[in-house]
Amino acid sequence: MGRTAREILKVDVNEVLKDLLKAYADEWLAHYQYWLAAQWIRGIDADTLRPVLLKQSMDELKHAEKLAQRIIQLGGKPVMEFSQLLTTSRCGYIAPPEDPTDLRKLIEDVLRAEQCAIRFYSEMVEKYRLTDVVTHELFEELLEDEVEDEEEWERFLAKL
Ligand SMILES: [Fe+2]
Ligand SMILES: [Fe+2]
């Protein structure tokens, strides 16, 4: 990070990095959760849900990518050990339901992940509004996407 970029930060950079790392871990876990669900599910509606899960899974990976770039820009390191993703994450990971045809449970779990992200990111948008504009905008962008994701899954759930 350049000198001026450091100057405009009105907050401890380690504090920002801690939050960015939590989000980074969440996005990786959501990516994996949705991708695995897409492989696992069976049943009448599975073919409808599968492409949506795969698309959103890739979107979450792109979120992780943006967070990784901001972390590195701030002089930090993304989570280097895979085993630390879970302990770093804020929203955690929910494994697919035992029963691959239980699509209701699956969608409810996806919704849980999205709702946690929405709460976390809106908290971050507020937190960095005046202290780190770049991080603030990054969280705003992610928040917008998660809001759309939630809406999409609520629609699916209503149709099941
Ligand atoms: Fe995301
Ligand atoms: Fe999402």
Q: What residues sit around ligand 1, an ion, with C-beta below 5 angstroms?
A: 27, 60, 63
Question: How high is the pLDDT of residue 2?
Answer: 84
Q: What is the Å distance from ligand 2's center to 17 Cα?
A: 21
Burial of 119 (0-12, 13-18, 19+ CB in 10 A): middle
**Domain count across the chain:** 1
| Ordered per-residue pLDDT tens for the chain, 160 residues | 888 888 889 999 999 999 999 999 999 999 999 999 999 999 999 999 999 999 999 999 999 999 999 999 999 999 999 999 999 999 999 999 999 999 999 999 999 999 999 999 999 999 999 999 999 999 999 999 999 999 999 999 999 8
Distance in Å, CA 142 to ligand 1 centroid = 6
137 CA from centroid of ligand 2 (Å): 17
Question: For position 92, which CATH number holds?
Answer: 1.20.1260.10
Is 125 within a domain?
Answer: yes
What domain range includes position 103? 9-159
> Is residue 1 included in any domain, yes or no?
no
What does the CA dihedral 70, 145, 136, 113 come to, rounded to 10 degrees? -80
Are residues 119 and 98 in contact, defined by beta-carbon separation less than 8 angstroms? no
pLDDT of residue 56: 98
pLDDT at 157: 95
CA 99 to each of CA 15, 32, 54, 105, 109: distance values in angstroms, whole numbers, following the listed order: 41, 18, 19, 9, 13
